[in-house]
Amino acid sequence: MSAPTSNAGHDEWLDALADGDGYALVCPDGHGSLPPRRVCPECGATALAEEPLAETGRVETYNVVHVAGPQFADDVPYVNAVADFGPVRLAGVLRGVEPALDAVSVGDRVAAGVEERATDGERLVAFRPAGGE
Amino acid sequence: MTDVRVAGVGLTHFGSHPERTGRDLFATAALRAFEDAGVPRGDVEELNYGNFMGALAEHQGHQAPLMAEAAGVNCPATRYEEACASAGVAVREAVRTVRAGEADVVVAGGMERMTNLPTDEVTEGLAIAADDLFEVRAGVTFPGAYALMAKAYFDAYGGERRDLAHVAAKNHANAVPNEYAQYRQEVSVEEALDAPPVAEPLHLYDACPITDGASALVIVSEEYAAEHDVDAPVAVTGTGQGTDRMALADREHLARTPAADDAADTAYADAGVGPDDVDVAEVHDCFTIAEVFALESLEIADPGEGISAARDGVTTADGDTPVNLSGGLKAKGHPVGATGGSQIAELTRLLRGDHPNSDHVADAEVGVAHNAGGTVASAVVHVLEVAE
Ligand SMILES: [Zn+2]
């Protein structure tokens, strides 16, 4: 692997998420999006303010990945999920559950953080079960 | 505005040809298209060429001039990249160019070389059609993204793996007589259900194969066809394109494909036809669930009803609206940058009556092609009609 590329805006967002201070960019009309971003993709507003993500997110959909590219070769099988954290949804790897379709349900609550890929130690958005519906 | 005709179509065999160069594949398709059209290469005024991952697969950028010389044409040549919809947008721009009176003869199509790479590198290559920062790095693979959409669909509308297995069985059955298809053997519903998982709820037979291949179309104005006595009975009467948010998580609907809704609405309005007029369709079934989304975007099925269309026989070869009589991406194969052109080539053959499956749609007059990029962040729809 070459040295990790620096992506201004995204790197700082991951740092914040890792510190428990995850945020979204929100326009005056309340549309959420993720950085780096200069324009609200829904309405075109340019006044974007950082707002905290909800403490926990609701799983909207998920899968169980068995075949992945080289960067996730040692991570499979894993659960991938999309969860709603208020202003935005996030995609991430759901850890702390069996990698099985019946081990998770749509509507489950999860917390978001930053963990490492098993394959190469790169940072990734990870979810953990937060309990409750 | 002039009418646009498909004067000729050319395809390579879709399959595993790891030793064949991209330039050789595209030249083969282009020469077949010229022969089918009876149009001299010297009359070509533009080349619109679709390709997705040539820089990864062949270490080759700047492919359009290379493909122009491979095809034996000397004219402005441009590469179009829209992931799996690359050739679809190349065809759309050809249609718009001819309509605008800018050219009378345009070659459009595409090529993808894939099987020369190891499977894990192809997986990685396909993944880059998704948002790198917020999807690929978060573990979203190409099959994984469609698995997320399938799970969301099941949750919203119901449906199960068995419904999807019927899509696979249908498209494999359709591919059997197609000489260009990668998989010409039937797959039973039970075999599809028993296949190993790729990204649950999707298993091996829910996914299209990795494919090498090329497609080419000779697109001409109606006036050119008449003047040069070119037999071109099929017209492109509608074209539409739509765009959605790149990342699945940012979409309003996880179980619908609004970009394709928009493309279909535009194409139908452009052609002056409606969903009820459609006799036959070629749709982008990179995964079985993707055919379900396509049917609903094209309004061949209502939201929530597309899942049962194959199982109920609505979209089978002898159903009301046969879908993917070519075998689809699923069984015919999916050389990513060639697929959108291949769909129009197959639809043209079906409507002309010279496709091995034409007998199933002997009276068909209106066909529709649906080509999607990535997880349908982009989509292109074309309407084809028998003009004479
Ligand atoms: Zn906004």
For tokens 């928009």, name the residue: B262
Residue A127 bridge partners (DSSP) = A94, A112
- Residue A128 sits in the same domain as residue A82: yes
**What is the arithmetic mean of pLDDT over A36-40?**
97
* CA distance linking residue B212 with residue A62, whole number of Å: 31
Residue with tokens 């971003």: A37
Give the pLDDT of residue A1: 40
For residue B340, count CB atoms less than 10 angstroms from its CB and return exposed for 0-12, middle for 13-18, buried for 19 or more. Answer: buried
**Fold of the B4-117+212-380 domain:** Peroxisomal Thiolase; Chain A, domain 1 (3.40.47)
- Percent of chain B at pLDDT exceeding 90: 97
Tokens of B324: 């993917």
Q: pLDDT tens-digit profile of B120-163?
A: 899 888 988 999 999 999 999 999 999 999 999 999 999 999 99
Token reading at B321? 């609206």
| Paired residues of B84 in beta bridges | B82
Residue in A7, A66, A124 nearest the CB of B138? A124
Band the pLDDT of A132: cuts 50, 70, 90.
Answer: low
Q: Which residues, at least 6 apart from A22, have a Cβ–Cβ distance to it below 8 Å?
A: A13, A16, A52, A53, A85, A112
What confidence tens digit (pLDDT) does each residue in B223-240 have? 999 999 999 999 999 999
At A4 the pLDDT is 59
pLDDT in tens, B257-313: 999 999 999 999 999 999 999 999 999 999 999 999 999 999 999 999 999 999 999
Shared domain for A47 and A87, answered yes or no, is: no
Backbone φ and ψ of B6, nearest 5°: -95, 110
Using 50, 70 and 90 to split pLDDT, how confident is the model at A5?
low
- Note whether A88 and A131 are same-domain residues: yes
Residues A131 and A75 in one domain: yes
- Chain mean pLDDT for chain B: 97
pLDDT at A131: 73
Tell whether A65 lies on the interface with B, counting CB pairs under 8 A: yes
pLDDT at res. B74: 97
Q: Are residues A71 and A112 part of one domain? A: yes
Mean pLDDT rounded to a whole number for chain A: 95
- CA–CA gap between residue B324 and residue B317 (Å, rounded): 9
Taking an 8 Å cut-off on Cβ atoms, the answer to whether B196 and A66 are in contact is yes
Residue boundaries of the structural domains of chain B: 4-117+212-380
**A118 and B CB contact within 8 Å:** no
Question: Rounded mean pLDDT of B325-332?
Answer: 98
SS (H, E, C) chain A: CCCCCCCCCHHHHHHHHHCCCCEEEECCCCCEECCCCCCCCCCCCCCCEEEECCCCEEEEEEEEECCCCHHHCCCCCEEEEEEECCCCEEEEEECCCCCCHHHCCCCCEEEEEEEECCCCCCEEEEEEECCCC
Same domain, A91 and A59: yes
Q: Is A70 in contact with B121 (Cβ distance < 8 A)? A: yes
Q: Are B139 and A122 an interchain contact pair (Cβ–Cβ within 8 Å)?
A: no
Tell me whether A55 touches chain B (CB under 8 Å): no
Of A73, A80, A101, the CB nearest to B144: A80
With CA atoms as reference, the chain B residue closest to A112 would be: B138
A32 CA: distance to closest CA in chain B (Å): 9
Average pLDDT estimate for B247-256: 95
Our CA-based measurement puts residue A27 at a distance from the nearest CA of chain B, in whole angstroms, of 15
Residues A74 and A131 in one domain: yes
Is the same domain home to A63 and A29?
no
pLDDT tens track for B156-195? 999 999 999 999 999 999 999 999 999 999 999 999 999 9
> What is the percent of chain B where pLDDT is above 70?
100
User: Cα(B184)–Cα(B173) distance, rounded to whole angstroms?
Assistant: 8
Q: Do residue A45 and residue A76 come from a single domain?
A: no
pLDDT of residue A111: 98
Q: Identify whether residues A73 and A14 lie together within a single domain.
A: no
Contact check, Cβ <8 Å, B120/A106: no
A44 contacts chain B (CB < 8 A): no
The total of other beta-carbon atoms located within 10 Å of residue B200's CB is 23
pLDDT tens for B191-218 read 999 999 999 999 999 999 999 999 999 9
Exposure of B369 in the CB half-sphere (CA atoms within 13 A): 33
The reply to whether A63 touches chain B by the CB within 8 Å rule is yes
Interface touch B141/A72, C-beta < 8 Å: yes
Chain A positions in Cβ-Cβ contact with residue B201 (cut-off 8 Å): 63, 101
Instruction: Indicate if A64 and A45 belong to the same structural domain.
Output: no
Give per-residue pLDDT as tens, A14-35: 999 999 999 999 999 999 999 9
Average pLDDT over residues B324-351: 98
The per-residue pLDDT for range B307-328, each reduced to its tens digit, is 999 999 999 999 999 999 999 9
What is the total count of domains within chain A?
2
By residue range, what is the domain housing residue A98? 55-133
Place B2 in a pLDDT band, splitting at 50, 70 and 90: confident
Rounded to the nearest angstrom, the minimum Cα separation between B230 and chain A is 47
Predicted confidence band of residue B388 (pLDDT cuts 50, 70, 90): confident
User: What pLDDT does B96 receive?
Assistant: 98
